[in-house]
Amino acid sequence: MKIERIETYPLFYPLKQPYGDANGLKKYRTCFLFRIITASGYEGWGEAIDWLPTLELGFKERIIPYLLGKKASDRQTIVNVISKWHKRIAVGISMALTEIISQHANLSICELWGGNLHDHIPVYASFQSYTAHDDWMAKSVSMAERELLNGFRRFKVKIGGRPLTEDQQHIEKLQHRIGNNISLILDANQSYDQSTAKAWEKKFKEWSNMLWFEEPMPLHDLSEYKLLRTALSVPVSGGENLKSVKDFHSLLSAGAIDIIQPDINHHESIDDYRTTLLIARALGFRVSSHTFDGGLSRLYTLFAHACLPAWSKMEGEELEPVEWDVMENPLTEVIPIEPANGYVKIPTGTGLGIELDMDLLHRFRWDGSVYR
Ligand code: MG
């Protein structure tokens, strides 16, 4: 079980038309995958997020020399050490070492975790609504039309990056087009203050298809969230940037939120991320994981949700939907799974249960040039 080799796959894709949210426009998408191979021939894939030059140099100078010769079954010790250097690499290492153990045991990841409780996971189409062009609103509505045809029944769109009246005009147009049969999430990426966030309540009262209101305000002041939560008729969600079980426990125990949104890439290990999910369940809160970076972390997110007990006894509401990025990003296609009618079927084979698309890994390999 000794680690013998580590290969890195930094991927880069420049976007034809930048898109974004209230935080600004993205000009490119990146992904950093790596493969850990043991002397006995078992392999495990990991994914990490950061600037690609940082990750490449970090692996070459520190991570690979540290990992070589270590026992792949010593996941906790290895991840604890690496998390002190770089938490987002540590979670990727925990993915790869988990897969190696599942390969060795001839089990799927879900079986290793006790077996999945759900075969299919609901997903919502996640849009980045803004572009730099005047026709951004029309473009957003046409993207929604495209995903209606692709079978999605839950959408998340961005607000908070334009004046309130312009954003409300956008959502009115979208509502008119998609109708009440589509559930809607509005994500403000922490843009508003209390009074601006409350200004949406008038609209929420008119609409019956709101799933939740995501991060309306900065998340550091939980008392503000508590006030807002009592004033709104739709659930409030948040937490995609929080980093640990402790952070989420504070959020939940303050009564500040209805739905937590942990992101596996922001925790220091899969174990820590899964503990966050289970704590939400134990305390009776909903959890809908945030996953926007890469296909592998999204797959692990789906595995974790597949092993999570239902949150509700209401038929058709047993599981919260997980995010599914529908924007232009061929890098996620490295993991060849696709939703059908708004649900993803959980792969069942040994390890990940799927093979990564090696052609795509080579086609989109970052050329080493500096980007900003
Ligand atoms: Mg968000």
Neighbours of 233 (CB within 10 A): 10
Residue 316 has pLDDT above 80, yes or no: no
Specify the DSSP class assigned to residue 332: G
Catalytic residue among 70, 266, 290, 305: 290
DSSP character at residue 319: S
d(CA 233, CA 271): 34
158 classed as catalytic: yes
Over range 166-190, report the average pLDDT. 95
Question: Using 50, 70 and 90 to split pLDDT, how confident is the model at 160?
Answer: very high
Residue (of 311, 349, 351) closest to 121 by Cα position: 311
- Per-domain residue ranges of the chain: 3-106+357-363, 111-345
3-106+357-363: CATH homologous superfamily? Enolase-like, N-terminal domain (3.30.390.10)
d(CA 14, ligand 1 centre) in Å: 22
Compute, in angstroms, the gap from residue 116 CA to the centroid of ligand 1: 27
As given in the structure block, the two tokens for residue 64 are: 């690979």
Q: What is the dihedral of CA 264, 267, 268, 270, to 10 degrees?
A: -40
Give the pLDDT of residue 249: 92
pLDDT in tens, 277-290: 999 999 999 999 99
**Per-residue pLDDT, 318:** 77
CA distance 94 to 75: 6
If one compares 170 and 315, the residue with the highest pLDDT of the two is 170
CA 190 to ligand 1 centroid distance, Å: 8
What is the 232 CA–ligand 1 centroid distance (Å)?
Answer: 18
Distance CA 304, CA 174 (A): 32
Long-range contacts for 226-234 (Cβ within 8 Å, ≥24 apart)? 226/254, 226/255, 226/256, 227/194, 228/194, 228/197, 228/198, 229/255, 229/256, 229/257, 229/258, 231/198, 231/201, 232/197, 232/198, 232/200, 232/201, 232/204, 233/201, 233/204, 233/205, 234/204, 234/210
Say what the pLDDT of residue 34 is: 98
Q: What is the pLDDT of residue 313?
A: 80
Tokens of 191: 């843009």
At residue 291, the pLDDT reads 97
Q: Tens digit of pLDDT for each residue in 74-130?
A: 999 999 999 999 999 999 999 999 999 999 999 999 999 999 999 999 999 999 999
Lowest mean pLDDT among 221-225, 248-252, 313-317, 331-335: 313-317
Q: Say what the pLDDT of residue 287 is.
A: 97
Mean pLDDT of 302-323: 89
Helix (H, G, I), strand (E, B) or coil at 36: strand
- The tokens for 48 are 């990490």
Length of the chain equals 372
Contact 47, 58 (CB under 8 A): no
CB 26 within 8 A of CB 128: yes
CATH architecture of 111-345: Alpha-Beta Barrel (3.20)
For ion ligand 1, residues whose CB falls within 5 Å: 187, 214
Please check the confidence at residue 180 and state whether its pLDDT lies above 90.
no
Task: For residue 137, report the distance from its CA to the centre of ligand 1, in Å.
Answer: 19
Q: Which of 70, 87, 156, 158 is catalytic?
A: 158
260, 251 in Cβ contact below 8 A? yes
CB 178 within 8 Å of CB 144 = yes
Is the pLDDT confidence value at 315 over 80? no
Percent of the chain with pLDDT over 70: 100
Task: Kindly state the average pLDDT of the residues 311-329.
Answer: 88
Q: How far apart are CA 329 and CA 28, in angstroms?
A: 9
Active-site residue 345, yes or no?
Answer: no
- Residue 235 CA to ligand 1 center (angstroms) comes to 14
Residue 286's identity, in one-letter code, is R
What does pTM read for this prediction? 0.97
Using DSSP, state whether 307 is helix, strand or coil. Answer: coil
Pairing of strands 259-260, 236-238: parallel
Residue 323 pairs in a beta bridge with: 124
Strands 24-38 and 3-21 turn out to be: antiparallel
- Mean of pLDDT over the chain: 96
Query: Is residue 217 within 8 Å of 194, Cβ to Cβ?
Result: yes
Angle between helical axes of 136-149 and 164-178 (0-180°, round to 10): 30
Within a 13 Å sphere around the CA of 50, how many CA atoms are in the beta-carbon half?
Answer: 16
